[in-house]
Amino acid sequence: MAIKITYFVHGTTTDNERRLSTGQAPGKLSKLGIKQSIELKEQIKDKEFDVIFSSDLKRAVDSVNLSFDDMDIPKLQDKRLRECDYGDLTGTEEVDYINYIDKKFPNGESMKDVEKRIKEFLDFLKENYDGKRIAIMAHKASQLAIEVIINKKTWEQAIEEDWRKTKEWKPGWEYILK
């Protein structure tokens, strides 16, 4: 069988609005992020999920609580879904992933480290949720890693084709995990 994943990105944060990199800091939804999360609830009301997983970082958990509060499904947090650890660059101006595919952020992770975490999480889903419909609420690096793993993109492709660059946001990206 296969697992149907719908991937959601947390609402806009106060750091996003200031063009700062939050990394693995908790982050706080901005007024816009709260509005986006509430609006997402309406956009996904007809979708069915067996479970929602989120990063354990505050901005993702808060987005889940606002977007999925009406759905009577398990809401589980998993630290493997965290944003990339930017190390010393956390809280600084926006980082460019292209420079850190193999090289770690100073005192942080590389994109390949994120890929390893997400691969472990996807393997966990295969072992425990075969045939299920899974929602994920997380971050940019985690989604790019899924693009690399499931859609077989290179990191360079995933970064270049990212919806944040093309401005093609949508209420959930669909992936099939086999």
Tens of pLDDT, residues 114-152: 999 999 999 999 999 999 999 999 999 999 999 999 999
CA distance linking residue 113 with residue 122, whole number of Å: 14
- Is residue 10 part of the annotated active site? The answer reads yes
Asked whether the predicted pLDDT for residue 159 surpasses 90, the reply is yes
- Is residue 139 part of the annotated active site? The answer reads no
Tokens representing residue 39 in the block: 């609006």
The total number of structural domains that make up the chain: 1
Per residue in 7-55, pLDDT tens?
999 999 999 999 999 999 999 999 999 999 999 999 999 999 999 999 9
Amino acid code (one letter) for 13: T
Q: What is the CATH number of the domain that holds 149?
A: 3.40.50.1240
Q: By C-alpha distance, which of 159, 16, 147, 139 is closest to 97?
A: 159
Full strand arrangement of the beta sheet holding 51-54: 75-77, 51-54, 133-138, 3-9, 173-177
* Across 144-170, average pLDDT: 93
Global confidence as pTM: 0.96
Tokens representing residue 110 in the block: 């590389």
Q: From the candidates 48, 83, 127, 174, give the one annotated as an active-site residue.
A: 83
So what's the pLDDT on residue 170?
86
